[in-house]
Amino acid sequence: MKIRIFILYVFLLTGSVMSYSQNVKLITVDQLQERIKNGKDSTYVVNFWATWCAPCIKELPHFEKLSQEFKSDKLAVVLISVDFKSKLASAVVPFVKRKKLKNQVFLLNESNPQEYIDRIDPSWSGSIPATLFIKNGKRTFVESEFTYEQLLTEYKKL
């Protein structure tokens, strides 16, 4: 009986972690660009962050609030972790679960930082947090931490 309970417990535990990890998928720059291209009528706010970046963690709730306040708009807030791919299950998924992030969360699946940095925005030095705003083909890239008011101002400029 104890073995059955243990097996059930392990199954439920791994099942819930695995189902939640499906909310954090890998994405390449090409896939991100394709996603944006296919959603031309939407506004995209793409935030680049990491679990080890204190300013990133501090501003994540602002992106959650933005998406909630403008959920009637065609707004897609996409959170892209630049943590190492090996940290997906051990750091990123538990972090997303603990913070109860509701926005789409991805882990960037690229091996050459300098190449993907230039492809996202040539002006990007690579520091995070960094955010890309896209609406009707207009792109604005901001390489700094946002307060909610600053994020809202930048979003409304589009």
Q: Does residue 43 sit in helix, strand or coil?
A: strand
Q: Are 100 and 84 in contact (CB under 8 A)?
A: no
How many residues does the structure list for the chain? 158
Q: Are 99 and 105 in contact (CB under 8 A)?
A: no
What is the reported pLDDT for 153?
Answer: 97
Stretch 109-136: mean pLDDT, rounded? 95
Q: Specify the DSSP class assigned to residue 53.
A: -
What is the reported pLDDT for 97?
Answer: 95
Stretch 122-138: mean pLDDT, rounded? 95
Stretch 13-39: mean pLDDT, rounded? 74
Burial of residue 1, with CB atoms counted within 10 A of its CB: 0-12 exposed, 13-18 middle, 19 or more buried: exposed
SS3 helix, strand, coil % of the chain, rounded to 5?
50, 20, 30
What is the reported pLDDT for 9?
Answer: 37
Token digits of residue 10: 């392990």
Amino acid, single-letter form, for residue 52: W
Global pTM reads 0.85
Q: How far is CA 141 from CA 30, 126, 135, in A?
A: 18, 12, 12
What is the reported pLDDT for 58?
Answer: 98
Q: Around 145, how many Cα atoms within 13 Å sit in the side-chain half-sphere?
A: 11
Q: What is the pLDDT of residues 94-105, one digit of tens each?
A: 999 999 999 999
pLDDT above 80 (res 18): no
Place of tokens 């972690």: 17
Q: Are 140 and 56 in contact (CB under 8 A)?
A: no
What is the reported pLDDT for 131?
Answer: 98
Token digits of residue 21: 């990890």
